[in-house]
Structure 1
């Protein structure tokens, strides 16, 4: 009788558990943010029922700094730690893709970064950012968006550099996790492009619900455009650049225009 050539059970590769990976990554990042944003949205509806319009409700994303700074260098370290924490979900997603990638560049184009990526990213920033600004204005005028306190960062010398870092941290986090990782794993699970795109856009919109219906719809549309493009190109860097530029303009624009422009 010939000896079996099958490897011991302990040495056999376990089947990928892509569904569990998706739940775990979203559960510690944007999925949980979507849940808390939804609860905030429900609370705002209670306020509306008491006769206060949604446009009068003040809301804010994750705060980026306190109103006063007593120890600047400790505050800088706090901000850097917060930015690193925001990058952790993207790092986790990349580690999981290293185990079971979706193709070259881990299936999300991490191996491709150059002038072309920057150019496409800036193009996307204009395509999404300019109409998005108009949508914010219309939503505020119709009372569909809350009054968003984009940043409460105090007027210190490191405000703009920190806001720029935070903008690109959010670009990396959201595009690597919500777009690239989610769509890659859903494709590996056998989901159709349209079904995966629908889930990705709803997830992206969900954690912006604290802004109101306008925030949800605008970011869901952004998710459809970004996701559709990613499904066809498998390139995440242009989306990271576009998102970072849009957020940077939002943060810095708010700092200098809030109080000078009525709807900002």
Structure 2
């Protein structure tokens, strides 16, 4: 696919006008500390805790667990978790706004090419989805991945909508910060494109370590693909769509089909 020209301010070494590099560095560290960098640290600790208990093959990691035994308090906690998880995204958009190009346009979050955008998203989701299944199966066979339960919510009228919102939360949070935001800021700090791609991919893998080493490897590979795609298109929205489709398929598919085949529920 043809590359689209990057905004002038995203060229290597082009820091924001009047803003010292040390402040941009501090900003990046604070944003990551409030979001996925913090998740990466916790994931490492959780992995060490699991390793201290015994082999990963005999352990289970539950995504989207029940947060309260009472349905409407559970729903409240689920929705609050989704809303507050997106606050760093709002912060990032605010930090990147006020320039000649809006943050939404700067990161390629616009829907001005809907057919092409959706097609890219679906294509990336298909590639990553197949690869994810392979990496998970391999990780389980090697004993380096815990058993994953993508959804453990009880069966209520709001279960599927909450799982969809949870998937969208992960997609927006990760792609906007780990790809769009980091590419802008790290290029302004003079990092080369290959180094940014690797750094973004390793960060993506780090906050999945609590699931085992297999998901770490799988998400690093996913990160390499997504980051390379971004360098060619400068568009985050196809990545958000792809990520959302992958998670919705996993979360909702498990919730609907798990009990039918004797797992989950």
- Following superposition, the deviation at residue 134 of structure 1 comes to 2.0
Distance in 1 (alpha carbons) for counterparts of 2:42 and 2:216? 14
**CA separation of 1:104/1:20 partners in 2, compared to 1, >3 Å: closer, same or farther?**
closer
- Following superposition, the deviation at residue 66 of structure 1 comes to 3.1
Q: Deviations over 1:143-197 (max 9, x none)?
A: 1101223222111011011100110111000000111101111111111011111
**CA separation of 1:130/1:168 partners in 2, compared to 1, >3 Å: closer, same or farther?**
same
Matched with 1:65 is 66
Please show how residues 101-180 of structure 1 align to structure 2 within 5 Å: 105-113=104-112, 114-180=114-180
Matched with 2:206 is 206
TM-score (normalizing by structure 1): 0.85
Number of aligned residue pairs: give it: 246
Unaligned runs of 5+ in 1: 1-11
Matched with 1:230 is 230
In the alignment, is the contact (CA less than 8 A) between 1:172 and 1:240 conserved in 2?
yes
Q: Deviations over 1:103-146 (max 9, x none)?
A: 88442112344222112111111011122112212211221101
Matched with 2:29 is 23
Q: Tell me the secondary structure at the aligned position of residue 164 of structure 1.
A: helix
Matched with 1:46 is 52
**CA separation of 1:100/1:212 partners in 2, compared to 1, >3 Å: closer, same or farther?**
farther
TM-score (normalizing by structure 2): 0.85
In the alignment, is the contact (CA less than 8 A) between 1:140 and 1:263 conserved in 2?
no
- Higher mean C-alpha deviation, range 98-107 or range 204-213: 98-107
- Following superposition, the deviation at residue 100 of structure 1 comes to 5.4
Distance in 1 (alpha carbons) for counterparts of 2:200 and 2:35? 14
- Higher mean C-alpha deviation, range 115-124 or range 237-246: 115-124
Q: Tell me the secondary structure at the aligned position of residue 148 of structure 1.
A: strand
Q: Tell me the secondary structure at the aligned position of residue 223 of structure 2.
A: helix
Distance in 2 (alpha carbons) for counterparts of 1:121 and 1:45? 36
Matched with 1:88 is 87
**CA separation of 1:144/1:84 partners in 2, compared to 1, >3 Å: closer, same or farther?**
same
Distance in 2 (alpha carbons) for counterparts of 1:111 and 1:249? 24
In the alignment, is the contact (CA less than 8 A) between 2:66 and 2:152 conserved in 1?
yes
Q: Tell me the secondary structure at the aligned position of residue 97 of structure 2.
A: helix
Runs (4+) of structure 1 moved beyond 4 Å?
99-106, 261-264
In the alignment, is the contact (CA less than 8 A) between 1:102 and 1:188 conserved in 2?
no
Q: Tell me the secondary structure at the aligned position of residue 98 of structure 1.
A: coil
Unaligned runs of 5+ in 2: 1-16
CA-based RMSD of the aligned residues comes to 2.4
Distance in 2 (alpha carbons) for counterparts of 1:67 and 1:149? 18
Distance in 1 (alpha carbons) for counterparts of 2:183 and 2:167? 23
